[in-house]
Amino acid sequence: MPKTRGPLARHGRLPRRRAWASALGIVASVLAVALVSGTSVAAIAGGTLATKPKTVALSKDDQQVADTADITAMPGGANILLIGSDTRVGQFDSDEDVQGARNDVTILVHISQDHQQLTAVSFPRDLMVPIPACSNPATGTTYPASTSAQFNTALGNGGVSCVVDTVENLTGLRIPYAGLITFDGVISMSNALGGVDVCVAQPINDTYTGLHLTAGEHTLQGSDALAFLRTRHGVGDGSDLARISSQQVFLSALLRKITSGDTLSDPVTLYRLATAALQNMTLSDGLAKARSLVGLATTLRGMSTSNMLFVQYPVVDDPADTARVIVSQEAAHVLNVALQTDQRTSLSDSTTGRASEESSSAGKSSGGSSGSTGSASPGTSSSSSGASSSGGTSSSGGTPSAAATSSATPTATATPLPSSITGQNADEQTCSVGN
Q: Read off the pLDDT of residues 253-291 as tens digits, 9 standing for 90 and up.
A: 877 777 666 766 677 777 777 777 767 778 899 988 878
Q: Read off the pLDDT of residues 146-172 as tens digits, 9 standing for 90 and up.
A: 999 999 999 999 999 999 999 999 999
Please provide the DSSP assignment of 350-385 as one string.
Answer: ----TTEEE-BS--B-TTSSBPPS--PPTTS--GGG
Residue 304 vs residues 385, 387, 411: alpha-carbon distances, Å: 7, 9, 11
Identity of residue 424:
Q
Instruction: With respect to residue 151, please indicate whether it lies within any of the assigned structural domains.
Output: yes
Instruction: With respect to residue 27, please indicate whether it lies within any of the assigned structural domains.
Output: yes
Instruction: With respect to residue 71, please indicate whether it lies within any of the assigned structural domains.
Output: yes
Select from 294, 268, 304 the least CA-distant residue to 401. 304
* Parts of the chain with a pLDDT under 70: 1-52, 86-100, 183, 259-261, 263-265, 278, 300-304, 349-350, 361-412
pTM of the model: 0.77
Answer for the pair 226, 199: CB distance below 8 angstroms, yes or no: no
Structure confidence at residue 260 (pLDDT)? 67
Question: Cα(172)–Cα(62) distance, rounded to whole angstroms?
Answer: 13
- Strand positions, DSSP E, 1-43: 3-5
Structure confidence at residue 262 (pLDDT)? 72
Answer for the pair 258, 193: CB distance below 8 angstroms, yes or no: yes
Task: Return all residues near 321 (Cβ < 8 A) that are at least 6 apart.
Answer: 128
Give how many domains the chain has, as a whole number. 1
Expressed as residue numbers, the domain containing 329 is: 17-185+261-346+373-424
Answer for the pair 228, 249: CB distance below 8 angstroms, yes or no: no
Residue 79 vs residues 4, 75, 426: alpha-carbon distances, Å: 38, 11, 18
Instruction: With respect to residue 92, please indicate whether it lies within any of the assigned structural domains.
Output: yes
Q: What is the DSSP letter of 80?
A: E
Question: Cα(196)–Cα(107) distance, rounded to whole angstroms?
Answer: 20
- Give the CATH number, domain containing residue 305: 3.30.420.590
Instruction: With respect to residue 414, please indicate whether it lies within any of the assigned structural domains.
Output: yes
Identity of residue 119:
T
Select from 115, 71, 116 the least CA-distant residue to 291. 71
Instruction: With respect to residue 302, please indicate whether it lies within any of the assigned structural domains.
Output: yes
Question: Cα(257)–Cα(193) distance, rounded to whole angstroms?
Answer: 8
Question: Cα(159)–Cα(56) distance, rounded to whole angstroms?
Answer: 9
Instruction: With respect to residue 200, please indicate whether it lies within any of the assigned structural domains.
Output: no
Instruction: With respect to residue 210, please indicate whether it lies within any of the assigned structural domains.
Output: no
Q: Where do the H-state alpha helices sit in 220-281?
A: 222-230, 240-258, 261-264, 267-278
Euclidean distance between the first and final Cα of the chain, in Å?
21
